[in-house]
Amino acid sequence: MRHDPIALMLFAAGFGTRMKHLTAHQPKPLVKVAGGALIDHALALAHEVNAAPIVANLHYLPEMLEQHLAGTDVHTIREDPQILDTGGGLRNALSLLGTDPVLTLNSDAVWAGPNPLDLLMQAWDPSKMDALLMCVPKARVHGRNGKADFEIDPLGRLHRGDETVYGGAQIMKTDLLETVSEQAFSLNVIWNKMADKGRLFGLSYPGHWCDVGHPGGIVEAEAMLERF
């Protein structure tokens, strides 16, 4: 599973408001699932594929995450005074990540099955893709209700739809980030531009995935890990 090093952005700046009391005194990435902090579950995936450098963006209670990550290979970057959302946060970290395509990974989900980053790197084809998103069929999604995000067409391209959920893992080129004038913006802005050009692709995850953005997600994630 080891690959040539590729930079990875770990999103860890959110307020975690859906976690309610669990994030009153700690950032969401430090919430524990199956005995380990969410951010450590994410880092295990990153280390398995030899990602380097690894950069984590921080905003809410950043000192706690800095202390947790001290002595590791993770570089941290604070977003201050405002949080920058996923697109702005990624652009803000490019000085540490470099200009080549990067992996990005959300820190509020748990995966059961093959390493999603490894699958993305194996399937990545920069000649036709500007981004490749790991998407989970609704039947294998845990801890999340409501509509899905995308559908994958027969050529592997992504379109907005209700078949698969974006799992928070992708590999993408970063040049379009500079085309957005706003300081804080979502990666959805970039994905829409890529989709318009037919260069936004998706990969269907063969395992199971759980959203741990709310307290009930902890129980569901632990049950999923025990079962699968």
Boundaries of every domain in the chain: 8-227
Question: How sure is the predictor about 20, in pLDDT bands with cuts at 50, 70 and 90?
Answer: very high
Helical (H) or strand (E) element with 220: helix 215-227
Higher-pLDDT residue of 196, 146: 196
Mean pLDDT of the chain: 97
Alpha helices, H only, 17-110: 38-48, 62-69, 85-92, 94-97
Crossing angle (nearest 10°) for helices 38-48 and 116-123 = 40
Q: Are 72 and 43 in contact (CB under 8 A)?
A: yes
Q: What pLDDT, in 10s, does the model give residues 43-57?
A: 999 999 999 999 999
Q: Residue 110: is it exposed, middle or buried by C-beta count within 10 angstroms (0-12/13-18/19+)? A: buried
Question: How sure is the predictor about 146, in pLDDT bands with cuts at 50, 70 and 90?
Answer: confident
Superfamily assignment of 8-227 in CATH?
Spore Coat Polysaccharide Biosynthesis Protein SpsA; Chain A (3.90.550.10)
Give the C-alpha separation, 158 to 164, whole Å.
Answer: 10
pLDDT for position 145? 84
Q: What pLDDT, in 10s, does the model give residues 180-210?
A: 999 999 999 999 999 999 999 999 999 999 9
Q: Are 6 and 199 in contact (CB under 8 A)?
A: no
Structure tokens at 175: 């040049």
